[in-house]
Amino acid sequence: MIITKLLLPAGLAFIMFAMGLTLKVGDFTRLLKRPLPVALGLAVQMLLLPVLAWLLLMVFKLPPAHAVGIMILAACPGGITSNMITHIARGDTALSITLTAITSLAGMLTIPFIVALALAHFAGEQVAGLPAPRMALGVFLVSTLPVIVGMAIHHLAPRAAARIERIARPLSLIIFALIVLAAFASQWRVMMANMHIIGPVVIALNVLIMVLGWNLGAAFGLPQDQKTAIAIEGGLQNGALGIFVATTLLNNPQMMTPSITYALIMNFTAFAFIAWRLYAARARQVA
């Protein structure tokens, strides 16, 4: 109980605070300066991903708790490692940061809305009876507010923010790993028992959204680095936030199983994507 009620929210809040330390107002106004790539990235992350998850759940019949868990995952913003992985893959890091910033703040509204629809459809609960205000408040307190605080420190005291960030950033990655590992350990048996059911959905969701993100960028003539950023932002989700929503806000540990499974799988696909991008870049240099 103390883990889900205190340690998990505190750990997630610290992760989001560390992210906020790296953000500035310009990361949001970039939407006005570069509307097309930002709009496409937001469309992939906030529209196509939930729609794709919903369509996959129409094909793969999952138990209600796991179906809602998939939608919780699809509602979450990009993962804390997406900016770093975008940089390694030679993507547009500035675009990645902008997408992470906007989706992280918008999550206070989008997560309760998507989860409410998922609960009503897959779990048979009435939308009117859902704890949407409490969920929005919970997401705001552990996700949106810490980002805002981090941004405020960055704006008011950039040197202090840089010093704090040098410690907070690696520590936040450790905390993220501990949250996922703790959830992984607690749900190991459930995950293994349902891997043949959850696994195909999670893999399909992860791979397809990255492919869709890349090809949508290509269809609009975006350069390689921007397509890379959009694909990675779509494919890497904040699994820790999904775990928090499922266990702390909805009090249903079964709903966090898709987030744990996805957190494991997305790292393999991310490294495969990095390897492909670096190989392609090297091949172009040789040619």
Handedness of CA 96, 102, 108, 113 (dihedral sign): negative
Q: In whole angstroms, how far apart are CA 234 and each of 34, 40, 175, 190, 223?
A: 18, 11, 22, 27, 17
237 forms bridges with which residues in the sheet?
78
CA dist 263 and 32 (Å) reads 32
Assess contact for 234 and 45: CB atoms under 8 A.
Answer: yes
Residue the block writes with tokens 């709903």: 255
Number of H helices, E strands in the chain: 15, 0
pLDDT of residue 70: 95
Q: What is the pLDDT of residue 24?
A: 80
Q: Mark the ranges of the chain whose per-residue pLDDT is less than 70.
A: 1-6, 31, 125-132, 286-287
Query: What's the confidence (pLDDT) of residue 127?
Result: 44
Whether 122 and 64 have beta carbons less than 8 Å apart is answered as yes
DSSP state of 275: H
- 93: helix, strand or coil: helix
For residue 125, the model assigns a pLDDT of: 58
**Contact present, 246 and 111 (Cβ < 8 Å):** no
* The pLDDT value given to residue 7: 76
Please provide residue 186's backbone torsions phi and psi, each rounded to the nearest 5 degrees.
-70, -25
* 15 bridge partner residues: none
Q: Which domains does the chain have, with CATH numbers?
A: 2-280 (1.20.1530.20)
Cα of first residue to Cα of last residue in the chain, in angstroms, is 58
- pLDDT of amino acid 66: 93
User: Within 13 Å, how many C-alpha atoms sit on residue 36's CB side?
Assistant: 10
Q: Which helix (H) or strand (E) holds 16?
A: helix 8-20
What predicted TM-score, i.e. pTM, was given to this entire model?
0.86
Spatial distance between the Cα atoms of 26 and 44, rounded to a whole number of angstroms = 22
Residues in the chain: 287
Nearest to 261 by CA among 182, 176, 180: 180
Q: What pLDDT does 143 receive?
A: 83
pLDDT at res. 104:
84
User: What pLDDT shows up at residue 4?
Assistant: 56
Tokens of 8: 């998990």
